[in-house]
Structure 1
Amino acid sequence: MLTLDRVTKTFRTGTFSGSSVTAVDRVSFTVGRGEVVTLLGESGSGKSTLGRMILGLTPVTAGSLTLGGEPVRSGREYYRRVQGIFQDPFSCFNPVFKADRVFALVKEAYYPRVSAADWRGRVERAVRDVRLDPGQVLNKYPHQLSGGQLQRLLIARALLLDGLEFLVADEITSMLDASTRVDVLNLLGDLRERGLGVLYITHDLALGTYLAEQTVVLRGGRITERGATEKVFGNPMHPYTRHLLAAVPRLGVDWVDAEPVGSCVFHDAGAEGELHEAEPDHFVACAQLPGCPGH
């Protein structure tokens, strides 16, 4: 179980002013093995910052991150269990090396004693697991492959690690065409069936509902709504969630103004920033974030 407990990230905004901005504010949720959790929100909501904290690329200011009950400590052993895949696959490959160099780096770091022949067999199996033909992709330079092929090679790289438990997938479909997006999402579904937990970070609501058992909606660094996906989307209670849903284009339907983020039925139920259980497995925050007048 990957657990976030009131995780907060604050950045300083000036060298001498002492000012700061809170990008992620007291975020709590869990990702279990064999579970897909979608983290939704508009650009600037703190989604990628949260993903980087989980991956140990950005330090946590406050709160805690635990894996299997133990505090997260980034390093070789942690990355054996938790891996990340990012929005732009081209930025993850050195253009002067062939694409299969990403697998050689894994061997150097984790499996230096494995023979070249055995490693080649492992790589080919991992590449086939992500629905690619090793003969068509392993001897190519990154510019000779599509974004979808490169993205799947990065997933194959993660699969080479014995003991991999969780994958942070940060906007991994945003640069892909529609048909390739579905292929990559189906691949994430296959990983779930193999027991991997996946945090799928996206701003695309349609794709966010495709696989996830749980959905977390982020606004301004805070969770506004969290719970079972069918409840969050089937019965959205926070005005911001309804605003996001109203913004999704629909064929043959005129766009209408979304409900503004306004009055809140939860403002007298607890402290600012807390979530309130509106129904089983469905939690909603105060609608006025920050500064609900009821607090």
Structure 2
Amino acid sequence: MAMPSMLHDHRPCAVVRGTPVITERRVRANGFRSRSLSVDGGGPPMLMLHGFSDTADTWRPVMRELAARGQQATAVDMPGYGRADRTRPGAMLPQIEGFVAELLERSGPDTILVGNSLGALASLRTAAAVTSELGGVVAISPAGFGHSRLIRYAEHAGLATNLLRVPFVPNRLMEAMVGKAFARMACGNHALADAEAVKAYAEQFRQRADVRRILGAGPAIIREIKAAADTLTLDCPVLAIWGSRDRLTLVGGSEELMDTLPDSELVVLPGFGHCPQLEVPDGVAELLLNFSSRTAAAPAR
């Protein structure tokens, strides 16, 4: 599907030497302290959620594109990741969804939830649960649909297992290994991966304990995801975006999502992977702006 044309009805935001300003703040929701990244602008608010083991920094490339077109957006570290507080004992999805729901209440009407992977599933489930009016949901490679063999392996063996088998790995080498593996799994073409976002991801893994804590939670959250993905009922517009070379949630999973949410739209990005925001941020930004424009013009459901 061709990318939508650029929209011109958004006011410009602050820039420094041609680069849009991304503001970092501390936030608190559902009892969790966290960090937000935001850009100023017009249009309906966009609240952006990252995937499993990722951080809000994954959205920096798209946020710069949105800001250059005058669109406001905010990305947050979800509980357990980045600079957010760790999750409490027990199921993780309800904690994340409670966090998102509280932020959504503050964001105002017509907010568009934008999520990738785990963040996409959290966006869909939160949208199904809240009573506030939403502009819509953009789900990029949502977890719970079309899981690959790698995800099924991770459910049973744990993502951290192979890394922790190595007796001694210097911290810098650990970060480099994690960053390289992340770029290859997240992208259809790892050479296109945004270096700043990959670096921010890898910096979470400074010690073996970080690998055990973050990646070691993989099996539990995968089981929660599998139990939660097919129980969705939404009353707001939904756009699903999938990379044709997604190695984690295979593009065939889009059929499952369309069956679950038959009124959804689907865009498949040829050649891109699980995190297209890292490979083609301008294209993802165009899709978001186009979706925002169409949902704003559509009659209320």
- The normalised TM-score by structure 2 is 0.27
Point out the structure with the larger helix share.
2
Larger radius of gyration: 1
- The normalised TM-score by structure 1 is 0.27
